[in-house]
Structure 1
Amino acid sequence: MVHPLVSIIIPFKNTSAYLEECLNSVLSQSYSHWEIIAVDDNSTDASLKLVQGFAQKDTRINVYPNTGKGVIQALQTAYAHCRGSFITRMDSDDIMTPDRLQVMTNLLLEHGEGHVAVGQVKYFSDRGISDGYDRYEKWLNGLTEKGTNFTEIYKECVIPSPCWMVYRSDFEACEGFNPQRYPEDYDLTFRFYEKGLHIIPCDKTLLYWRDYDHRTSRTSEHYAQNYFLDIKLHYFLKLDHDTNRPLVVWGAGFKGKRIAQSLTEKNIEFSWICDNPKKIGKEIYGHTLLSFQELDHIKHPQSIITVANEEAQKEIRAFFKQRTMRNMLDYFFLC
C-alpha cells in the first residue's frame, strides 16, 4: 500500500485561541504519514509557544519563523521546508475532519497527477453564520460535489484555501506560492485553472471553516473587493479574452465602474451596457452607457458581467441562453 508523505503548510499569527483545536484535528487524522510545516508570522500572543509545545511532543510537527512578513512570505517560508510528495494547506483557526487527509490522498492516488483534490466545507461561528456565508458555502459545495468549480471561477474563489491537496510536481508547475498577488488563495486557484488541472468531485465535508470578526479575510486590505476584481480581470485578459471579438461590460455599479476604468487605463476597447434608465446615455470614462438590447447589434461579442443582483443574473443568463451563448466562452460572470 502506497502512503505518500503529505506536507501540511500552516501559517499562523495571533491565533492562540484556535491553534490547539486545529493541531489536534491533524493529530487525529486516520492517515498518519504527514508532516506539519508551521510558520509563525510574527505573533505577539502565545501562538508560537503553543505550537512549539506540540512540536516537542510529535516530531512530525516543525516550526519556523517567517523569513519575511505577511501570509505569502509565510507560505513561501513553509514550502522551502516541505519534503512531501503531496502538498496541502491548513489555516490555523480551522478544523480538519478526521478523514480529510485519507480521503484526499486516496483521490489523488486514484486520479493521478494533473488533478486537485478538494472537499466540502462547513462554516461555523460562536455567533452564527451570516446569510452571505451560508449561500457561499452551499454554492461552493454544489460545485465541489460535481467537480465543476472552474466553471464559476470568475465569480468567487472556487477552491477553499484550507481544503485542497495536489501533487508536488503539479504545485511547482503552477509556480507554487511564488507570485506576490493577493488574495493569494484566489491567485493560486487561477493558476491551477491556467495549467489545466482537473478538480476531483467530492461529496464529503472535510473542513470546518471558522468565521469570526478579526479573521484575516475580514480585516486585511488585501482581501478588499477591489483586489478580487483586479485579479479576476487580470486572469480574464490573460486566459479567456479573445482579442478578435468585441468586448462588452454589463453593469455600471461599483464593480462595473472598476472594470471599465481598468480596461480604459489598459487601452482595451469595449462597449458598456446597463439596464438602469437613469444611466443609459450617460458618459463615464469616455464611454456612453448603452441599453442591453444593443448587444444584438454587436457581432460575436464576449461579455463581462458585473451585475450582482441574483434575479438580474438569472435574467441575463436567460438572455444569453436564448442567443445560444455559452458560459466561460461567450460570457463571464465577475460577480
Structure 2
Amino acid sequence: MSKPLVSILVPFKNTDAFIAECLDSILNQSYSNWEAIFVDDHSDDDSYTIVERYAEKDTRINVHKNEHSGIIDALKTAYQHSSGTYITRMDSDDIMTPIRLETMVTNLEIYGRKHLAVGQVKYFRADGLSDGFARYEKWLNSLTVEGKNYSEIYKECVIPSPCWMLHRKDFEACGGFNSNVYPEDYDLAFRFYKANYICIPCDKVLLYWRDYSTRTSRTHEHYAENSFLDLKVHYFLELNYDASRPLAIWGAGHKGKTLAKILLKENIPFFWICDNPKKIGKHIYDQELYNFDYLAELQHPQSIVTVANSKAQKEITRYFESQKMQSMVDYFFFC
C-alpha cells in the first residue's frame, strides 16, 4: 500500500544563511513520500539560487516566484502548486527533526479526519536564547504533550506555524490560506479552533525553531502586539463571548487599556476591575475602575484577564476556581 503524499509549503525571503539547513532537514526525513514547494517572496540575496540548485538534484523539490507580495500570497502560491493528501508548512530558517513527517503522518492515519497533528518544538539561537522564548517553548510544549493547545489560545499562538499537519480536505474546509488576516499563523490557529479540529498529543520534538534579530515575526508590523490583540478580540467575540452575560476586564495596564479601547469601538459593554489602589475608583475612557471583589456583584460574568505577571495569574486562577468558574467558558487569559 502506497504512503500518502505530504505537501510541504515553504515561503522564503532573504534567508540564504539558513535555507540550505532547512532543505537538508527535509531531505533527511525518515518519511520519503513528500513534495516541498518553495516560493520566493522577492528575495534579493542568494536564497532562490540555493533552492534551485537543490531542485535540480531532487525532483520532489519545486521552487516558484511569488507574483504578489507578502507571506500570505506566497503561501497561497505554494498551495496552488501542491497535490498532497496532507498539508504542512515549514519556515525556511528552521530545521525539521528527521522523524517529523513520519510522526505526523502516523498520528493522522491513526486518528483520522478532523484532527490536527502538532509536535514539540525547540528554540535555538546562535548567541543564546532569551528567557521569553524559553518560557514560550516550555508553555507551548506543555500544551502539546496533552493536546490541550486550545485551552490557552487567547494567550499566544498555540499552534507553531512551522509544525502542524492536517488532511487536505480539512485544511480547505477551514479556509486554508484564503484569509488575508495577519498575523496569518495565529489566524489559522483560531480557524483550526473554530473548526473544532482536535490536536493530537505529541511528546516528541519535531522542529528546531530558529530565533534571530531580523526574523520577520520580530520586525514586521503585521506581528506587532496590537495586531495580536485585535485578532484575539475578533475571535473571542465570535466564538466565546456570551452577550447575555456581563463582561469584565481584569487589569488596567497597557494591554488592558488597549483592550478597553477595542471593546468600546465595538460597542461591547464591560466592567473594568484591577488591584491598583491608585486606579480604583478613577475613570479611564469614561469607564470606572473597580476592585476585583466587584466581580462577585455581577450575575454570572465572563472575564478577560490582561494581567501578565505569572504569580498574579495563579492567584487570579485560584480565585476563579474557588468561585467554580471554568477556563475558556467563564474566564480567558489574554496574556
SS at match of 1:279: coil
Aligned residue pairs: how many? Answer: 335
Partner deviation per Cα, 1:132-177 (whole Å, 9 max, x = no partner): 1111101100110000000010111111000000000000011001
SS at match of 2:121: strand
Corresponding position of 1:309: 309
Determine the C-alpha separation between the residues in 2 that align with 1:132 and 1:43. Answer: 30
Determine the C-alpha separation between the residues in 1 that align with 2:244 and 2:68. Answer: 43
Overall identity of the aligned pairs, in %: 62
Corresponding position of 2:218: 218
Determine the C-alpha separation between the residues in 2 that align with 1:148 and 1:10. Answer: 27
| Residue type of the alignment partner of 2:79 | Y
| Residue type of the alignment partner of 2:103 | V
Displacement of 1:282 in angstroms is: 1.2
Determine the C-alpha separation between the residues in 2 that align with 1:128 and 1:174. Answer: 37
Corresponding position of 1:56: 56
Corresponding position of 1:29: 29
SS at match of 1:242: coil
| Residue type of the alignment partner of 2:320 | F
Task: Describe how 1:229-268 pairs up with structure 2 within 5 A.
Answer: 229-268=229-268
Displacement of 1:308 in angstroms is: 0.5
Displacement of 1:2 in angstroms is: 4.3
RMSD: 0.6
Corresponding position of 1:70: 70
Determine the C-alpha separation between the residues in 2 that align with 1:183 and 1:306. Answer: 20
Determine the C-alpha separation between the residues in 2 that align with 1:19 and 1:266. Answer: 43
Determine the C-alpha separation between the residues in 1 that align with 2:271 and 2:174. Answer: 34
Corresponding position of 2:110: 110
Displacement of 1:284 in angstroms is: 1.2
Determine the C-alpha separation between the residues in 1 that align with 2:197 and 2:31. Answer: 24
Give the gaps of 5 or more residues in structure 1: none
| Residue type of the alignment partner of 1:118 | V
Corresponding position of 1:331: 331
What stretches of structure 1 move > 2 A for 4+ residues in a row?
A: none
| Residue type of the alignment partner of 2:259 | I
Determine the C-alpha separation between the residues in 2 that align with 1:101 and 1:32. Answer: 9
TM-score by length of structure 1 reads 0.99
Determine the C-alpha separation between the residues in 1 that align with 2:212 and 2:204. Answer: 24
Determine the C-alpha separation between the residues in 1 that align with 2:192 and 2:246. Answer: 27
Determine the C-alpha separation between the residues in 1 that align with 2:133 and 2:266. Answer: 34
Partner deviation per Cα, 1:239-297 (whole Å, 9 max, x = no partner): 00011101111111111011100110111110000100011111111210111010010
Corresponding position of 1:276: 276
Determine the C-alpha separation between the residues in 2 that align with 1:124 and 1:191. Answer: 28
